[in-house]
């Protein structure tokens, strides 16, 4: 694929985000900020039989942070909580399919940090 197509994937998710919104009630809800810019992402999850039954994200941020959250919702739909816990930063970065500069890594990984914190329980700190 060309670089343009890779960029199109980010833009497509940014313009047409999957699972954007909130769930109320939810089994897990968590939100956090990118400390570098103050942008926020919240993720709500409903769980059934130890699998993600529904998830939604909300908040604001740059195209990379929003596209990455949208892609993460697709990646985790129907997955077991153990499978979600096993998702690595590299897994998500691979799905973004564009090289992410070190300065934008927190943008790209904010959604994963929030989702995992929600599932592990408030207080979980992702390793930086």
Residue 37 vs 87, nearer CB to ligand FES: 37
Half-sphere exposure at residue 105, Cβ-oriented, CA atoms within 13 angstroms: 7
Residue 33 vs 47, nearer CB to ligand FES: 33
Whole-number minimum distance, CB 60 to ligand FES, in Å? 8
Report the C-alpha dihedral over residues 13, 15, 18, 20, rounded to 10 degrees: 130
Residue 47 vs 62, nearer CB to ligand FES: 62
- Indicate the length of the chain as a whole number: 128
Chain contacts with ligand FES (rule: CB under 6 A): 34, 37, 39, 61-62, 64-65, 107, 110
Whole-number minimum distance, CB 73 to ligand FES, in Å? 16
Whole-number minimum distance, CB 84 to ligand FES, in Å? 21
Complete edge-to-edge strand list for the sheet that includes strand 40-48: 28-33, 40-48, 51-60
Residue 52 vs 59, nearer CB to ligand FES: 59
Burial of 37 (0-12, 13-18, 19+ CB in 10 A): middle
């Amino acid at each position: 694929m060309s670089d343009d197509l890779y960029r199109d994937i980010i833009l497509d998710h940014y313009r047409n985000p999957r699972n954007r919104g909130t769930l109320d009630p939810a089994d897990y809800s968590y939100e956090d900020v990118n400390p570098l810019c103050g942008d926020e992402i919240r993720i709500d999850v409903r769980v059934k039989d130890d699998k993600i039954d529904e998830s939604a994200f909300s908040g604001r941020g740059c195209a990379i942070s929003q596209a990455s959250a949208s892609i993460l919702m697709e990646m985790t739909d129907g997955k077991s909580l153990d499978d979600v816990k096993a998702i690595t930063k590299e897994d998500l970065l691979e799905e973004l399919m564009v090289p992410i500069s070190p300065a934008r890594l927190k943008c790209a990984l904010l959604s994963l940090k929030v989702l995992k914190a929600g599932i592990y329980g408030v207080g979980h700190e992702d390793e930086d």
